[in-house]
A and B are shown apart, each in its own frame.
Chain A
């Protein structure tokens, strides 16, 4: 059983502790690229808002802030579950699978609330075609939801990795990639939520 999972290539004698990048270097090309793309989304949103402050404020009042807040809580809890799960995975704790199953639960809860929120808005007569605010709201939260669905697939992989009695270097690396991706989904929402629901 590998003990040195955290720093696979750590020097044997007392050199400085090697820095460990979770997952693998290449994954961060994707993570930073995706953050860059969402950065463009956020920029577009802020610029359009500045052009049409009144319409944006009026439309924003129709959003269900409490549902958005609930979803924020789900994602934050989910990230914590994943972090605990990764610790448990390294420590070979018997509860490691449970943490990831719980995280998967928060992902499903988020998706359920989001779909409920969409249908509420549409039944109240707010559609993407109404104004720029709702166009951005539906498109950006929709793209985020697509990321979350991919994240849920990753969490499922994490569950299967955790369930195996043996942990290999390759599987641990894959698990770290999944965890990093999940934290990214969480982080994007933490910018998207205030930008859409709260900023006035």
Chain B
């Protein structure tokens, strides 16, 4: 049973990427809306794509929570490395929870913005800013996850470590990848703006491939299949013809 639970948790990384980016595409947010757009332009976008945005947000809302089992299995692996005293595990779990919120919260605001798109344009623009800014600038939960996980992987001194050592260094690099987005407040255009090459595209590619990579590594770290004692459920009802 434990093995099956692990398979589901690990695979949530794939599901997350499909559902999150699927939601983004359905909502028409790829490429992202420019932060330099005027209030009227923003309002028109919500009015023209109302239903697409609404459906995209429902998808992304569920997507956000798919990071929870994925993070929980990683936390369980970190706990194996740490043993009895597990501050890194708790830090990782806290960051995973914050990571859920970091997606969930902007999605709720996008939803509110698409709920009454006919309202006055400045209000829609404010909601749009309130959603896009945290959605892209929310690096620290993921940065914390990546650094803690990287450290735990390199600390793993067991004879058969769960993850290869390169994965530890890879996680440190992933943490760096989310840094450029932290300065997006200063820019309404260019590579550091919320739709920029470095703030959005680099971070999105690193983020998506990180989930997929760690999912694959967790599937490769599955425990051996073990014989399970027979239970009442295994009793034959129909013999083979």
Question: Contact residues of A with B, CB < 8 Å?
Answer: 24-30, 33-34, 37, 40-41, 44, 48, 128-129, 132, 135, 139, 143
Contact = CB atoms under 8 A, between A and B. Distances in A.
B186 interface: yes
Given A29-B170, A44-B197, 4 more contacts: A37-B177, A48-B191, A129-B186, A135-B192
Determine the main DSSP class of A at the interface with B: helix
Q: Which of B176, B179, B180, B191 has the most CB of A within 10 A?
A: B191
Nearest to B197: A44
B167 A33 contact: no
Contacts of A139: 180, 183, 192
A34 B164 contact: no
Contacts of B166: 25-26, 28-29
B116 interface: no
Contacts of B177: 37
Contact of A40 (B168, B192, B198): B198
A30 B165 CA distance: 11
B169 interface: yes
B169 A29 contact: yes
Given A24-B165, A26-B167, A40-B202, A34 B190 contact: no
A146 B37 CA distance: 33
Interface residues of B, number: 22
Nearest to A26: B166
Interface in B202-216: 202
A30 B198 contact: no
Contacts of A27: 169
A97 B198 CA distance: 40
Contact of A30 (B164, B169, B186, B202): B169
B55 interface: no
B168 A26 contact: yes
B115 interface: no
B173 A34 contact: yes
Given A26-B164, A34-B176, A41 B190 contact: no
A138 to B, nearest CB: 10
B172 interface: yes
10 contacts: A26-B164, A26-B166, A33-B176, A34-B173, A40-B197, A44-B191, A48-B190, A135-B190, A143-B179, A143-B180
A168 B170 CA distance: 25
Nearest to B187: A135
Contacts of A29: 166, 169-170, 173
Contact of B198 (A33, A41, A129, A132): A41
